[in-house]
Structure 1
Amino acid sequence: MKTNKPLFTMQVLSIVPPLLFIVIYVHSDYTYMAIAIILMVLIGINTYRYMKNIALIRYSLLLILVASFFIYAFNGLGSKETPQNYEVLHYKMYPVATFDFNRTVQIDQMCYYIGIDKKVQFSVEYLSEGTWKKFHTYKQKFPFSFRWKCVDKNVTTSKIKLHVTKNQMMLNEVRFSYRGKPVLYKTDKKYLNDEQNISIDTTYYGGMFFDEIYHSRTAYEIMHGINVYENTHPYLGKLLIIPGIELFGMTPFGWRITNVLFAGLFIVMMYYLAQHLFKKRLFAFSSAFLLTYSFMHLTQSRIGLIDTFGVFFVFVSYYFLYRFIKEQKLSILLWSGVFFGLASAVKWSAVFAVLGYMMIALYLLFSRYPLEKRFMGYRLLMYGVLAYGLVAGAVYLLSFFDIYLQTGSFQKIVDYQFSMYDYHTKLVSTHSYSSPWWSWPIDYRPMCYTREIHGTLFRSITAFGNPAIFWMGTVALFYLIYASVKKRTLESVFILLAFSGLYLPYIFVGRLMFIYHFYYAVPFMILAIIHMLKDAMVYFPKYRQHYFIYLAIVALLFLAYYPVLSGYEVPKVYVDYGLRWFPGWWL
């Protein structure tokens, strides 16, 4: 039975959290309940076999972790039904659209779904006693895209008209209602009332929020050959959003799903890098477990942004770099360069990884690590330039192929680079959720992407760290410094330098920053934690059970904070008195 105990404990840790999640958050969904029953049967059988000292039924712990993450991530990810047809309305048309009710009716709400807002301004007027009166005026404060907006105003009228006063927009649907019941109309525009079966949802579930209005909108524009709105980051991230839109339409589910899939694959890569680093299945499982129950990993993966792609590619690049050091095959180093190029083609934040690559190379040279002759001395640096300069650079340039296909001009690609550079070097702005680099590991100020309060109910989506990971990770990083100096093992130095390369450059970044910029370094903080706990199990064998207690605490905090990570609606009192531990935690 003793030989079964670690395996049994890992199985419990892999099954119990998703089981609790289903019971707490999605107990009314029959599919999830079926999954819960299967999990209960499996854990029940293995509990019996463990008690009877019978060999346990083995299953893939990694597969359970990835499946668990998908359960958490896909729950309430986004609607698969939003208006798809649209009319292009511009200021040269007058009136742009007329809504005729054929009789005098009462209206207390107008809802409309805008697809692409080209810095539009428009006004809505209603006919009252032969006079047109103001109903609603829209002036752009930000690029309001692919979401519903509702305006409450009680009027009596027989006709309403919409007039674009500046620029143009893609308008998908217009609805009127009185006391919650639809008020039907006729219009000369074919596609403004042709999808009446689609429900109105003004929450994150039914439309774009935060920077989705830039990245996911731009993905749609690239698909349809429209001049792109967002050109502050490279192209690849937006291209990776497109497959989801092609499969599920221009819906929240469609523009978010590829992020979730990459995040699930990320857990697999975490397992394999940890397996190479620590050589034991327990520590590989634990590393993947911590990533699965990382707050920031879940939040970032459920939004139609591009960060998850970049973090994934950087991590895979380091995976191949470590394999290169151990196996010393040039092809593996070149694969590391390919993924670095892909990461840079998503977001320039990935370029900071170069610092980590350089420090690791210097460590290998000055520590006299046993390299093959062809990789010794200056040759290692030359191969590094080949992988991270030429190969990565070629991959980066190829990611802009769409610009070249549309324009036939290489100069347009060059102009795009200068446009990005100008934006990031000249950005001067303030934000209540901004935070300095030193505050990220201690979870000083979370980044709230959206929050809504309806009476006593509260929903929000917030990026920050699982305290059990971030706070333990801060301690682990100091231990890693000690271990790197004292023992100088490749594993400790590799993790420390990879983390440092992705984190320390922010000390010198003068522009506005947020805690989600720390996302790139979080995977290596997790590896630092496992490295420290691995050593602790050697030094303090009597406390081995505390290792699993720590993992359980991580999962329990994840389940407790899930509502504010995902937009799940809960009583506001639960957030105020149960989750907001510090005044600066604006969840």
Structure 2
Amino acid sequence: MVLLAAVLRLWNLGVPHALVFDETFYVKDAWSLFNNGYESTWPADANVQFEAGHTDIFTTDPSFVVHPPLGKWLIGLGMNLLGPGNPWGWRLATVLVGVLAVVLIMLVAQKLFQSRLLALITGFLLAIDGHAIVMSRVALLDNFVMFFALLGFGAILLDREWHATRLASRLAGLREQGWGPALWWRPWLLAAGLAFGLASSVKWSGVYFLAAFGIYLVVVDALARRRNGVSFWLSAAILKQAPVTFLLLVPIAVMTFLVSWTGWFVTRGGYYRQWADSTGADGAGAAWTGPLAWVPHTLQSFWHYQAAAYTYHVGLATPHPYQANPLTWLFMTRPTSMYYRGSSSGEPGCQLQSCSEAITSVGNPLIWWAATAALFYLVYRLARYREWRVGFILMGMVAGYLPWLMYLNRTVFQFYTIAFEPYLLLGLTFVIGLVLKQIPDQAQPKRKHSAHSQVPEYDPQPQPGALRAVIVGLGVALLLTAFFLPVWTGMQTSFSFWQLHIWMPSWR
């Protein structure tokens, strides 16, 4: 699965030799950040010069950027290794993270489902999905958010077992349980805080994962205490364990976020870097006065910068031809066109009447729509059977998707969905696991067996028809990947072949 993912993502990675979509921001910001320690401005015709190999034309004037710097540091590292004028350098970090995400989601699925088969199926789905392929082949930030959030998701999964085992052990030795103990030593929680801090250091949307799983941890602790017979399980979870959980999870995430801004802190040229030291036309200083006057000017300036970035984020409503309302994301009605170049016979490389080169972040239709159907089914199953695996998967969707429903009038794009795609695929795998009997189905009545019966309560062997259906479905998904691969990777095709991939008018 890893080899398959690597081939689909690395093949012809340097095409096109052009800054596609938001690479025009992040690639250039990454290179000026890597050299100056902060994002700087570029000349008006910077794209043409940059693509031609003139990459050191940035200035020392600061540029107002609204995303934290970690993702750009990673892109800049790849550019430093392979050269800033090399498209492989621009995209090296995102493509490596895209391949590693396949490894990570298989590890998560193995732990979550206790089935190597389902782990392989999950990895296969992520490896061949077009949206994941495209987002691994362009130097945007969202692939990093997806990877670090999934890393935190895996750490929370490991903490769940750690917490349950140690809580039961501690409670067994108590005569009077009352609230029960507070568990301080939870290393996987520290790892989760670090991972969610890394996600937040790429884009602010990573904070949603931190908040959602912080609430999840309190709920899980309350339910665990109730199962173990703690009398005041709810108040114990909220008043005793929750503050400890907060201290284990949040400070390390905040420190990670601040460390990612090291370049801005240690230099003097970053945007708003000296805001607190400045004075207005009336001679009044910008620095805070009153009770907060003691705060160092550097931190005052940093806070002002973050406030300005937040104001920009919540107020962004500039129309864009490829913006997509979050209500339509699950149905994939408006995928983002990252790149398109049309040419005619006689133009370089075109030997047909008309040619097209496209990079469109449309997912594999069968995988995406099946996963969306599975998501709605999982919501029903959670309400009906309260299965912890279902709740855990849906919590990833809550963190990655639901917050965007607060910004229906903001300019947003379909490609943001890469942050929660792993949980869509885990949900689809869960349903496949039910079909293949790799996961016990609580919807099925338990078998009763007499003293003379040797029939097991749960038979993990799939029915031949179910197995064939899953194999056929995965095979069709693979064929669709082969069909859509040219419009995911910028291959030159005939214009009519490109049109065959426009299944909806809104896909143009």
SS at match of 2:358: strand
Task: State the partner residue of 1:426.
Answer: 315
Cα distance change of structure 1 residues 564 and 365 upon mapping to structure 2, 3 Å threshold: same
How far apart are 1:399 and its partner, in Å?
A: 0.7
CA contact (8 A) 2:8 2:128 kept: no
How far apart are 1:355 and its partner, in Å?
A: 4.6
Cα distance change of structure 1 residues 410 and 559 upon mapping to structure 2, 3 Å threshold: same
Task: State the partner residue of 2:458.
Answer: none
Is it true that 1:348 corresponds to 2:270 in the alignment?
Answer: no
Distance 1:354 1:367 in 2: 20
CA contact (8 A) 1:221 1:227 kept: no
CA contact (8 A) 1:336 1:387 kept: no
Distance 1:434 1:371 in 2: 49
How far apart are 1:305 and its partner, in Å?
A: 1.3
Question: Equivalent residues in 2 for 1:113-152 (5 A)?
Answer: none
Larger radius of gyration: 1
How far apart are 1:362 and its partner, in Å?
A: 4.8
Per-residue CA deviation, residues 310-339 of structure 1 (Å, 9 max, x unaligned), is: 110011001000110012260111100000
CA contact (8 A) 2:79 2:90 kept: yes
| Greater displacement, 378-387 / 267-276 | 378-387
Task: State the partner residue of 2:389.
Answer: 491
Distance 2:229 2:102 in 1: 32
Question: After the TM superposition, which parts of structure 1 deviate over 3 Å for at least 4 consecutive aligned residues?
Answer: 226-230, 365-376, 408-412
Is it true that 1:469 corresponds to 2:367 in the alignment?
Answer: yes
How far apart are 1:383 and its partner, in Å?
A: 3.1
- Equivalent position to 2:161, from 312, 323, 326: 326
Task: State the partner residue of 1:396.
Answer: 257
How far apart are 1:354 and its partner, in Å?
A: 3.5
Per-residue CA deviation, residues 408-428 of structure 1 (Å, 9 max, x unaligned), is: 944443333123112212222
Cα distance change of structure 1 residues 218 and 228 upon mapping to structure 2, 3 Å threshold: farther
Distance 2:93 2:228 in 1: 39
The amino acid across from 2:477 in the alignment is V
CA contact (8 A) 1:222 1:228 kept: no
How far apart are 1:358 and its partner, in Å?
A: 4.2
Per-residue CA deviation, residues 87-110 of structure 1 (Å, 9 max, x unaligned), is: xxxxxxxxxxxxxxxxxxxxxxxx
How far apart are 1:372 and its partner, in Å?
A: 11
- Equivalent position to 1:580, from 482, 502, 507: 502
Is it true that 1:267 corresponds to 2:102 in the alignment?
Answer: yes
- Equivalent position to 1:382, from 239, 243, 246: 243
Is it true that 1:299 corresponds to 2:134 in the alignment?
Answer: yes
By percentage of residues, which structure has more strand?
1
TM-score using structure 1 length: 0.64
SS at match of 1:265: helix
Is it true that 1:313 corresponds to 2:148 in the alignment?
Answer: yes
Cα distance change of structure 1 residues 314 and 371 upon mapping to structure 2, 3 Å threshold: farther
- Equivalent position to 1:218, from 24, 29, 34: 29
SS at match of 2:401: helix
Distance 2:61 2:248 in 1: 34
Question: Equivalent residues in 2 for 1:239-254 (5 A)?
Answer: 239-250=73-84, 251-254=86-89
- Equivalent position to 1:531, from 412, 430, 437: 430
How far apart are 1:294 and its partner, in Å?
A: 1.5
Task: State the partner residue of 1:508.
Answer: 406
Question: Equivalent residues in 2 for 1:269-284 (5 A)?
Answer: 269-284=104-119
Is it true that 1:75 corresponds to 2:8 in the alignment?
Answer: no
CA contact (8 A) 1:356 1:499 kept: no
The amino acid across from 2:502 in the alignment is R
Distance 2:416 2:256 in 1: 23
Cα distance change of structure 1 residues 494 and 380 upon mapping to structure 2, 3 Å threshold: farther
SS at match of 2:126: helix
Question: Equivalent residues in 2 for 1:405-484 (5 A)?
Answer: 405-407=266-268, 409-455=298-344, 456-484=354-382
The amino acid across from 1:238 in the alignment is K
How far apart are 1:360 and its partner, in Å?
A: 2.0
TM-score using structure 2 length: 0.74
Per-residue CA deviation, residues 180-202 of structure 1 (Å, 9 max, x unaligned), is: xxxxxxxxxxxxxxxxxxxxxxx
The amino acid across from 2:13 in the alignment is L
- Equivalent position to 2:478, from 531, 535, 555: 555
Task: State the partner residue of 1:140.
Answer: none
Cα distance change of structure 1 residues 281 and 561 upon mapping to structure 2, 3 Å threshold: same
CA contact (8 A) 2:34 2:77 kept: no
The amino acid across from 1:357 in the alignment is F
By percentage of residues, which structure has more helix?
2
CA contact (8 A) 2:91 2:139 kept: yes
Cα distance change of structure 1 residues 531 and 240 upon mapping to structure 2, 3 Å threshold: same
SS at match of 2:338: strand
- Cα RMSD of the aligned pairs, angstroms, is 2.1
SS at match of 2:485: helix
Distance 1:294 1:413 in 2: 39
SS at match of 1:205: coil
How far apart are 1:471 and its partner, in Å?
A: 0.8
Question: Equivalent residues in 2 for 1:48-59 (5 A)?
Answer: none
% identity of equivalent residues:
27
CA contact (8 A) 2:156 2:192 kept: yes
Distance 1:352 1:231 in 2: 20
Cα distance change of structure 1 residues 234 and 475 upon mapping to structure 2, 3 Å threshold: same
Is it true that 1:335 corresponds to 2:219 in the alignment?
Answer: no
The amino acid across from 1:361 in the alignment is L
Distance 1:290 1:386 in 2: 37
SS at match of 2:356: strand
The amino acid across from 1:548 in the alignment is I
Per-residue CA deviation, residues 187-237 of structure 1 (Å, 9 max, x unaligned), is: xxxxxxxxxxxxxxxxx6222121111111011101221445351100111
Distance 1:513 1:411 in 2: 30
- How many residue pairs get matched? 396
The amino acid across from 1:377 in the alignment is A
Distance 2:187 2:228 in 1: 16
Is it true that 1:232 corresponds to 2:121 in the alignment?
Answer: no
CA contact (8 A) 1:259 1:302 kept: yes
Per-residue CA deviation, residues 467-491 of structure 1 (Å, 9 max, x unaligned), is: 1121101111122112222322211
Question: Equivalent residues in 2 for 1:148-159 (5 A)?
Answer: none
Distance 2:418 2:91 in 1: 18
CA contact (8 A) 2:135 2:143 kept: yes
SS at match of 2:206: helix
CA contact (8 A) 1:341 1:388 kept: no
